[in-house]
Chains A and B, each alone.
Chain A
């Protein structure tokens, strides 16, 4: 059973001007998040991804469709019921949103107070959580005495306090430097692996998806335009917007402008070879060019790895006459995908 299941979920706002058209932030999105997933939702700012995640814990109300949390439809539930459901869904934020008037321990204890946990249990649970995120020595510090990475770790400890089954991460690493980002992502991975918590990660950084997500959905203009296992979307994006995100972490087929620059420096025919998984042996592919006596140069591209599976795109300039090149490409096409770029 899906932990979170969205069925044709929509969210629209009344127009800010009288008589204007309503603004649709989320347009009929359906999505299934299975137990144990780290589900990435990526999109440019304004794509609706933050709104979507705020619908999951009903910080904002959906205006259409159904949202099932552990099998229960939460759309239309009264606020009082929603509060109970929110105890089972942790959330972390881009700006951390810690209470500046409380110490680190006080922040982590907050959701336990809301849940009515007795004081003695709270103290023990807070100590346990701070030890999990490696901040036991900061219990008495105030948030403004912490670095960004430490603040987010407090945020994570706080979000985990009531032992939720779901954790929502809304741009949780967007305010952090690359190194701290990886620390926080590693912690989220532990949360998923050791505590078995299903995580929904909202981000505009493909690197975040590549590092921790198992599945990904790409959002554009309020709709999910592509979804699937991360490897599939990365190695073979179906949508232009998805391809643009993928190209931020791995170079694909050169764009027209990039090609123009390449053309200035390289003669010969230019082709892009796409490798996917271990199905293709690169040495065999390059062997074909050597056997056909086609000298070549790798001029663009890269190879990457997702969950231990390699993929990539390499663009080659081939220096030989058309007959020899065509013969070689004919055999290479049997081994892998070839895109001739003109």
Chain B
């Protein structure tokens, strides 16, 4: 317990880092996920922007990247992170790599959520003279909003999970804190404190996501 008390400043710093990494990756990965998901949905056969080559490329890319264990992806994508963020290590590099991985994971979820929108509703919008861009923003996304919020809540947990191994490439956060000060120093209380905070964080976000989704679905 004393160990934890002595480490409180580091603990709060780590908490802040986790929040920063997760918020940034939720933003970038969320946008990336929407783009990938919309791309998959719109270019598939029979959809409004049907385009087989684009669909096949996106689909293969998603299937290739998603199964790679994140800890390996983090190492493998390091050169790419370096060329984009200027450094292969640290929180910015971690944010880049998580956002990239999350875009593809989220893309699949977004695609599945969009597929729940009745195709007839899109027919109706087309019959009223709406074009593809208008259909995306006034029909597809609003109609799928409830499931999309739940999808983003789901991916939030995955982001917390991914951020935990950021220490591998010099990133911070609660995962790194638990390993560095808890596991390696034989201080289980320190580890559990980090675990507890992560559980609370996830519960809060899940609750928020559920209630927003309920509001969107009006149930």
**Do B129 and A99 touch (CB < 8 A)?**
no
Query: A212 at the A/B interface (Cβ < 8 Å)?
Result: no
Of all chain A residues, which has the CB nearest B127?
A91
A162 to B128 alpha-carbon distance, docked (Å): 9
**Do A93 and B123 touch (CB < 8 A)?**
yes
* Surface stretch bound by A, among B17-25, B69-77, B135-143, B159-167: B135-143
Given A101-B143, A101-B145, A142-B218, A111-B121 contact (CB < 8 Å):
no
Given A59-B123, A83-B130, A91-B127, A100-B138 contact (CB < 8 Å):
no
**Do A99 and B143 touch (CB < 8 A)?**
yes
Of all chain B residues, which has the CB nearest A57?
B127
Please, which residues of chain A bring their CB within 8 A of the CB of B127? 57, 59, 86, 89-91, 168
Please, which residues of chain B bring their CB within 8 A of the CB of A114? 125, 128-130, 134
Please, which residues of chain B bring their CB within 8 A of the CB of A113? 138
A84 to B125 alpha-carbon distance, docked (Å): 13
**Do A93 and B134 touch (CB < 8 A)?**
no
A102 to B127 alpha-carbon distance, docked (Å): 17
Q: How far is the CB of A58 from chain B (nearest CB, A)?
A: 9
Of all chain B residues, which has the CB nearest A144?
B218
A168 to B127 alpha-carbon distance, docked (Å): 10
A89 to B126 alpha-carbon distance, docked (Å): 11
Q: Majority SS of interface residues in chain A? A: mixed
**Residue from the list A97, A102, A144 in contact with B120, Cβ < 8 A:** A97
Please, which residues of chain A bring their CB within 8 A of the CB of B125? 99, 110, 114
Q: How far is the CB of A115 from chain B (nearest CB, A)?
A: 7
Q: How far is the CB of A113 from chain B (nearest CB, A)?
A: 8
**Do B143 and A111 touch (CB < 8 A)?**
no
A279 to B19 alpha-carbon distance, docked (Å): 87
Of all chain A residues, which has the CB nearest B146?
A101
**Residue from the list A86, A90, A100 in contact with B126, Cβ < 8 A:** A86
Q: How far is the CB of B27 from chain A (nearest CB, A)?
A: 23
Query: A328 at the A/B interface (Cβ < 8 Å)?
Result: no
Please, which residues of chain B bring their CB within 8 A of the CB of A83? 129-131
For chain A, the count of residues having a C-beta within 8 Å of the partner chain is 29
Of all chain B residues, which has the CB nearest A161?
B128
**Residue from the list B120, B130, B216 in contact with A93, Cβ < 8 A:** B120
Please, which residues of chain B bring their CB within 8 A of the CB of A95? 118, 120
Indicate the size class of the contact surface on chain B: 20 to 34
Given A100-B143, A101-B145, A86-B128 contact (CB < 8 Å):
yes
A115 to B128 alpha-carbon distance, docked (Å): 9
Q: How far is the CB of A97 from chain B (nearest CB, A)?
A: 4
Query: B124 at the A/B interface (Cβ < 8 Å)?
Result: yes
Please, which residues of chain A bring their CB within 8 A of the CB of B134? 114
Q: How far is the CB of A26 from chain B (nearest CB, A)?
A: 18
Residues of B177-209 whose CB lies within 8 A of A: none
A97 to B124 alpha-carbon distance, docked (Å): 6
Query: A87 at the A/B interface (Cβ < 8 Å)?
Result: yes
A59 to B123 alpha-carbon distance, docked (Å): 7
**Residue from the list B129, B138, B139, B142 in contact with A84, Cβ < 8 A:** B129
Q: How far is the CB of B43 from chain A (nearest CB, A)?
A: 16
Please, which residues of chain B bring their CB within 8 A of the CB of A142? 218
**Residue from the list A79, A86, A99, A162 in contact with B142, Cβ < 8 A:** A99
Of all chain B residues, which has the CB nearest A91?
B127
**Do B128 and A110 touch (CB < 8 A)?**
yes
A162 to B121 alpha-carbon distance, docked (Å): 18
Contact code string A18-46 (vs B, CB < 8 Å = 1, else 0): 00000000000000000000000000000
Of all chain A residues, which has the CB nearest B126?
A59
Q: How far is the CB of B140 from chain A (nearest CB, A)?
A: 10
Q: Give the one of B124, B126, B130, B143 with max A CB within 10 A.
A: B124
Please, which residues of chain A bring their CB within 8 A of the CB of B129? 83-84, 86-87, 111, 114-115, 162
Q: How far is the CB of A79 from chain B (nearest CB, A)?
A: 8
Residues of B142-174 whose CB lies within 8 A of A: 142-143, 145
Q: How far is the CB of A313 from chain B (nearest CB, A)?
A: 40
Of all chain A residues, which has the CB nearest B134?
A114
Please, which residues of chain B bring their CB within 8 A of the CB of A168? 127
Please, which residues of chain B bring their CB within 8 A of the CB of A101? 142-143, 145, 216
A95 to B129 alpha-carbon distance, docked (Å): 19
Complex A-B: 5 CB contacts under 8 Å? A59-B123, A59-B127, A93-B120, A97-B124, A162-B129
Smallest CB-CB A-B distances: 9 pairs: A97-B124, A111-B128, A101-B142, A97-B120, A91-B127, A86-B129, A83-B129, A87-B129, A114-B129
Please report B residues at the A interface, Cβ cutoff 8 Å: 118, 120-121, 123-131, 134, 138-139, 142-143, 145, 216, 218
